[in-house]
């Protein structure tokens, strides 16, 4: 699967100055995203630390002993100790303090670098089922000819209709060199392919030069090599003569603090990256030095699932006014954890600090508020392009996503085709011409306004359709009102072009 995030704890890691060596993590909890569980890992194993006054009180030890010896359930001491650990952690009411068994820690380490064993696809669940939105190069799925746009319907002969993403990914992922039969549907035809599971390493940084001159870099997580990959990609784009840069952190759950810090240094010469405050309210800031700046505009895309290291980076770039943050308020994970190796086996992750942005803005349970708030992934992307100084934007549908100014994105453009007319979400169209959009619930209509001109579209006259909480606008009516918009719908492949000048 791809970089899945279901129900797992993601983290930023740094080494800190203390009596004992330690690894510190900023964790976040994500749920409901589309793929198999992946985690982030530190650059080295966590270090053992013997806390002062360790050892169990006589009363606790005696209770454990009696229960393990005489309780009618026959529960052994190890099970009772595990329950005691869980009870202590649960009593804190802190979702980021966690005990991991040795097996869980091993999984944590391997998956944190975006490594897993499977068939090499990125999935999204929609009303039709499990859609393949990306097939990784060199993967078993690519070898058998799977493509973006295919729908997986069964694994090893078992249908997964109505099942969860976790259930499907559990069936498809497994041990290296074992086989799995995957059944998928393409254009109404059903095919089953036998694939041999293999280790898959997901590239955490990708990007390209967009038509119009803007550079685009997406960071899926802050893995140990994300900073190096980012530097390499940015150097490549700068050699191609980019005039601006878009950094996409949407859906990025976090990662290593060192990676986020090194990326920040491409835009900030020196200063505080974050402030940290411990239980005694002592500020221990993490500082930047030896950095640089860029001469072109920088835009950062964030959303409600941008967390942890994503918030560290975007918060710093915002506070130093070296980037414009676009999207929705971020997740709000601003606490710091330390991981200790437990002598009896396993690892203990403990919340020890809270962090603030360079200007001491609170992040925990608050998030980073964008400079420009935009709802909807495609509208956010278009807005970022406009803010980057590119007026002309072209969007084209493709299986599993869209292409914006020549650069592929995983977002899908929802389109309604009805009675010879084509309808597109109003927010997407408004963003295309850099316009404002307002919804009128009484008349079930939207008004789209730009440059002193406004046009309205309503469900009553079929210029609009309100479906599942989204207002769609007829393209012919929209292009008639906004003559900078052109479009075509050839063989069900929609292409849109619009012109807008950004209004910050």
33 in Cβ contact with 5 (< 8 Å)? yes
Given a cut of 60, whether residue 352 has pLDDT beyond it is: yes
What's the pTM value of the predicted model, to 2 decimals? Answer: 0.81
Numbered ranges of CATH 3.90.226.10 in the chain: 205-377
Residue 95, token pair as written in the block:
């979702």
Task: Answer whether CATH 3.20.20.140 is correct for domain 115-201.
Answer: no
Given a cut of 50, whether residue 504 has pLDDT beyond it is: no
Numbered ranges of CATH 2.30.42.10 in the chain: 115-201
> CB neighbours of 16 closer than 8 A, spacing ≥ 6?
22, 24, 284, 338
Residue with tokens 């309100």: 466
Given a cut of 50, whether residue 75 has pLDDT beyond it is: yes
Please name the helix (run of DSSP H) or strand (run of DSSP E) that holds residue 41, with its range, or none.
none
Tell me the backbone φ, ψ of residue 188, rounded to 5 degrees: 85, -10
Confidence of residue 123 (pLDDT cuts 50, 70, 90): confident
Greater confidence (6 vs 184) lies with 184
Tell me the backbone φ, ψ of residue 245, rounded to 5 degrees: -140, 135
Given a cut of 90, whether residue 432 has pLDDT beyond it is: yes
Angle, vertex CA 9, rays to CA 4 and CA 15, nearest 5: 115
Using alpha carbons, list the distances in angstroms from residue 316 to 219, 275, 279.
16, 11, 24
Q: Which CATH architecture has domain 205-377?
A: Alpha-Beta Complex (3.90)
Can you tell me the distance from the alpha carbon of 479 to that of 183, in angstroms, rounded to the nearest whole number?
42
Confidence of residue 102 (pLDDT cuts 50, 70, 90): confident
Rg of the chain's alpha carbons, rounded to an integer? 25
pLDDT, tens digit, for every residue of 231-254?
Answer: 999 999 999 999 999 999 999 988
Given a cut of 70, whether residue 99 has pLDDT beyond it is: yes
Nearest to 44 by CA among 13, 10, 3: 13
Nearest to 371 by CA among 417, 320, 409: 320
Given a cut of 90, whether residue 255 has pLDDT beyond it is: no
Please name the helix (run of DSSP H) or strand (run of DSSP E) that holds residue 453, with its range, or none.
strand 453-458
pLDDT for res 60: 87
Residue positions annotated with a catalytic role: 308, 333, 337
**Average pLDDT for 416-427:** 95
Nearest to 502 by CA among 402, 433, 406, 420: 433
Edge-to-edge strand ranges of the sheet holding 372-373? 205-209, 214-219, 244-248, 298-302, 324-327, 372-373
pLDDT for res 22: 27
């Amino acid at each position: 699967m791809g970089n899945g995030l279901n129900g797992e704890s993601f983290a930023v890691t740094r080494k800190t100055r203390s009596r004992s060596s330690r690894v510190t993590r900023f964790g976040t909890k994500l749920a409901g995203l589309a793929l198999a569980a992946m985690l982030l890992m530190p650059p080295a194993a966590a270090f053992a630390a013997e806390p002062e006054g360790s050892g169990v009180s006589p009363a606790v030890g005696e209770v454990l002993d009696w229960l393990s010896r005489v309780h009618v359930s026959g529960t052994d001491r190890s099970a009772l100790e595990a329950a005691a650990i869980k009870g202590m952690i649960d009593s804190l009411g802190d979702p980021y303090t966690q005990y991991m068994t040795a097996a869980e820690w091993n999984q944590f380490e391997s998956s944190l670098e975006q490594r897993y064993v499977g068939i090499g696809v990125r999935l999204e669940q929609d009303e039709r089922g499990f859609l393949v939105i990306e097939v990784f190069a060199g993967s078993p799925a690519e070898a058998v000819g799977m493509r973006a746009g295919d729908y997986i319907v069964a694994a090893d002969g078992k249908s997964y209709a109505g099942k969860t993403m976790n259930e499907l990914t559990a069936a498809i992922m497994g041990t290296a060199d074992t086989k799995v039969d995957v059944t998928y549907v393409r254009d109404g035809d059903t095919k089953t392919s036998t694939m041999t599971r293999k280790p898959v390493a997901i590239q955490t940084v990708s990007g390209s030069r967009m038509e119009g001159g803007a550079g685009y870099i997406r960071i899926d997580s802050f893995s140990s090599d994300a900073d190096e990959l980012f530097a390499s990609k940015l150097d490549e784009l700068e050699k191609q003569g980019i005039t601006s840069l878009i950094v996409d952190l949407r859906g990025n759950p976090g990662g290593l603090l060192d990676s986020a810090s090194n990326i920040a240094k491409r835009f900030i010469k020196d200063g505080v990256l974050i402030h940290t405050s411990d239980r005694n309210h002592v500020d221990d800031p993490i500082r930047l030095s030896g950095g640089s700046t860029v001469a072109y505009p920088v835009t950062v895309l964030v959303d409600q699932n941008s967390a942890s290291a994503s918030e560290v980076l975007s918060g710093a770039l915002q506070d130093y006014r070296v980037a414009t943050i676009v999207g929705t308020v971020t997740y709000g994970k601003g606490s710091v954890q330390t991981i200790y190796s437990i002598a009896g086996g396993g690892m203990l992750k403990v919340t020890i600090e809270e962090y603030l942005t360079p200007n001491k803005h609170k992040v925990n349970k608050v998030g980073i508020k964008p400079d420009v708030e935009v709802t909807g992934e495609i509208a956010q992307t278009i807005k970022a392009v406009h803010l980057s100084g590119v007026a002309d934007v072209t969007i084209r549908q493709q299986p599993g996503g869209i292409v914006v100014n020549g650069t592929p994105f995983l977002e899908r453009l929802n389109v309604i085709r009805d009675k010879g007319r084509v309808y597109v979400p109003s927010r997407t169209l408004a963003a295309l011409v850099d316009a404002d959009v307002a919804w009128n619930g009484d008349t079930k209509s939207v008004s789209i306004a730009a440059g002193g001109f406004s046009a309205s579209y309503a469900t009553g006259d079929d210029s609009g359709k309100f479906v599942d909480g989204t207002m769609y606008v007829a393209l012919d009516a929209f292009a008639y009102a906004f003559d900078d918009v052109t479009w075509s719908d050839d063989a069900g492949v929609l292409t849109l072009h619009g012109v807008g000048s950004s209004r910050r």
